[in-house]
Structures are given as C-alpha cells and as structure tokens.
Amino acid sequence: MPQTITQVDAFTTTPFAGNPAAVCVLLEAQDDRWMQDVAQEMNLSETAFLLPQAEGFSLRWFTPTVEVDLCGHATLASAHVLWEAGYLKLDEPARFHTRSGLLTAQCQGDWIELNFPAAETELVGSAPSELEQALGTPLKTIGHNWLGYLVEVESEAIVHTLYPNFALLASLPIGHGVIVTSRAQSPDYEIVSRFFAPKIGIDEDPVTGSAHCCLGPFWRDRLQTDSFVAYQASRRGGIVRVRCEGDRVYLSGQAVTVMRGELV
C-alpha cells in the first residue's frame, strides 16, 4: 500500500497562506534517515511523522535539515489530518507523544486548540554583539529562552519591514533563531511577531507555534492578560489565539488541506 502524505496550511483558512506542513501518518515505523530524506524532499519548514500507538500517536518533526523538539504548526496540521481523514472522531482529542512530552489537541468548531508547555524568557542585558546589526534595527528589550533570543522592537511597522542579514544571523550563537516582536497597532490583534531561524535551515518561518510558547508568558506580563490574539507578520501571515494557564500555553488556530499525494 502506498504511503500517503498531506500538505496542510496551518494558522489560516486561506490556501497558500499561514504555514505549510507536510503530514505523514506512517503505515509502519521508519528509520530516521528516511524521515529526514522525506522532509528534505518536501522542503517545507516542517514535515510531521505520525505513528499510531497505545493511547495516541507518536509524533516527530523534521525541518529539511534537522529533527526538532517542538513544532506548533505541524502539530496543528497533524491534528487537522487525523480528524479530516477519520483517524479520530471530531469529539476525540488528539494525543501526541513527542520529545516535548504529551501534547494534546481539541477540535473546537472551526478552530483547533493545542496544549503546549509554556517557555519563560529570561531578560538579559545584551545579546551577541552583531545581532542588532543582523536584524538591522535597534532592540528595545532582549530576552533568551530555549528557542534562542526574543527581542522586542519599538513598533509594529518595524516588525513588518525587517529584512535581516541571514548569512550573518546564521553565524551568531543564538540557538535555533530569534523572535522579533512588538505591541500591535491593529485593532484585530494585540501583538505581532516574526521568527528567523537560518541556523536550522529556515530563513523565516511563516507562523511558529513554538515561538508563541515563548511569546505567551512574555506578553502576558506586559499586557496584564492571560489571553490575547497574535499575528505573525511573515509574507504568508497567520493568526494565533494565545491563552496562558500556569505552566501551559494554549494555542488556537485554523487549518486547510491544500494537497494529498503518495510516496512511491
């Protein structure tokens, strides 16, 4: 039987917007090299591999170059595929066993809510000396978390118009990448961000769930609210509803299937 693969645009309802992810529900276990080769062939920011197991699914995520510990948009896409293809009933939660522990997803009408670990950001006095040069803008606030650096800039307009020096950014000791964020001027959302990760083969990720695990606690304290709407201002763009609760962050988004195929 051919192995099917589905491409889903996550954190959007519009095809060719949001963040595309490939989702492969495996017929049997595959080795790491094969999964990395498939991810490289798909050439998307993430390809997700699901394997049915007791009480849920094993879930792993690969960029075109490396396996990662956590990926929000490919988890959202995976849940979407499980419900759409009938692996789960709409009232059944999706349970994923991952490198980041047990993650769950609930179908809530047109939205999917992900239950992810919150990631605190430690404010630091400075960043690598060339980070500001690589981003091409002054940095208002600088923090560090498991994903890399999180920096606040002065305005939403700056976030929208950033054009980083990706070669320089890739050479810096910044972990996976850098989240750039600011308060929003738009009435439709409270905060705006972008995420750059050339060190792991992604110059700019269109919409990044794992970044919002960091943005949730960071902006909760500044906005003085546990819930807010975020916009990731990449060229494709996407909306993320964020809700903080203790050491968890609930990320809600929508998704649309754009392609189905077979690996031969």
Q: CA 102 to CA 81: how far, in whole Å?
A: 18
* Pairing state between β 94-98 and 101-108: antiparallel
Q: Please state whether 41 falls in left (phi above 0), alpha (psi between -120 and 50) or beta.
A: alpha
User: Of 28, 46, 130, 132, which one is the catalytic site residue?
Assistant: 46
Distances (CA, A) of 54 to 78, 161, 173, 200, 247: 17, 47, 40, 32, 26
- Residue 144: burial class (beta carbons within 10 Å; 0-12, 13-18, 19+): middle
The backbone torsions φ and ψ at residue 51, rounded to the nearest 5 degrees and listed phi first, read -135, 120
C-alpha 184: how far from its chain's center?
A: 20
46 is catalytic: yes
Contact between 103 and 250 (Cβ < 8 Å) = no
Residues taking part in catalysis: 46
